[in-house]
Amino acid sequence: MSESPRVPPDPWHHLREHTAARIALGRSGAGLPTDELLRFGLAHAQARDAVHLALDVAALTARLRPLNLTTHAVRSAATDRASYLLRPDLGRRLHPDDAARLRDLSRPEGCDLLIVIGDGLSAQAIERQAPPLLEAVLSQAPPDWSLGPLVIATQARVALGDEVGAALGARLVAMLIGERPGLSSPDSLGIYLTWAPQAGRHDAQRNCISNVRPEGLPPSAAATRLWWLCREARQLRLTGVELKDRSDQPLLSQRSRD
């Protein structure tokens, strides 16, 4: 009886130890092996669940209480998750009641930086990454910067931070938001920084720090990058395509700031 031909080992298999990317999947006939199909189905289900999972604002507020931040919860104009997903424009606008409430809370002096937490497309990212990131941001805050209250927004898109920042008189707004889930990263958080926030700002006027999570950009490194961008934004009075992120390059010379 002739022996069955041996299947040679996949030369890429050892690389799977170093990445979550879907590589070296192998094949069974013309398709994928059953175990890889099952893993793909699980990853797809996790990404889908991350999009639909609601943010528990009360639980998040309780976790952030040790940071001693004044916290306000707001909603976008999207009344539920279905309208949020089908009408992105509603997620970019504040609910009228919350817009009026924030204007009543504003102070004449405003603040240098306002942090807004938005559920975005992954509440799971906010629940996992926002607390350690906020702790790192506060621990690295320059002493001459004033911070506004923390605002937690539900059914939120990135541009919602512009209206929130304008209502509270912020010179800079940093929107911490759940990013669109990937098959290997359903809990990735993004930071969007905007100078002089106001309704009508567009994405070219923001700087983005993405993939904030332990497997990507750790909270401490993300906070360092955010403060570098904040300082540069205040000096140049702008954010976006004209503000290049060189935070990972060594300084050639020490220059005065502010």
173 is in an annotated binding site: no
Ligand-binding annotation for 109, yes or no, is no
DSSP track, the chain: -PPPPPPPPPTTGGGGGG--S------BTTB--HHHHHHHHHHHHHHHHHHHPPP-HHHHHHHHGGG---EEEEEBS--SHHHHHH-TTGGGSB-HHHHHHHHHH--TT-EEEEEEEE-TT-HHHHHHHHHHHHHHHHHT--TT--B--EEEEES--TTHHHHHHHHTTEEEEEEEEEPPP-SS-TT-EEEEEEES--TT--GGGEEEEEEESTTSB-HHHHHHHHHHHHHHHHHHT--STTS---TTSPPSS-----
**212 assigned binding-site residue:** no
**What residues form the annotated binding site for adenosylcob(III)alamin?**
158, 179, 208
**What residues form the annotated binding site?**
158, 179, 208
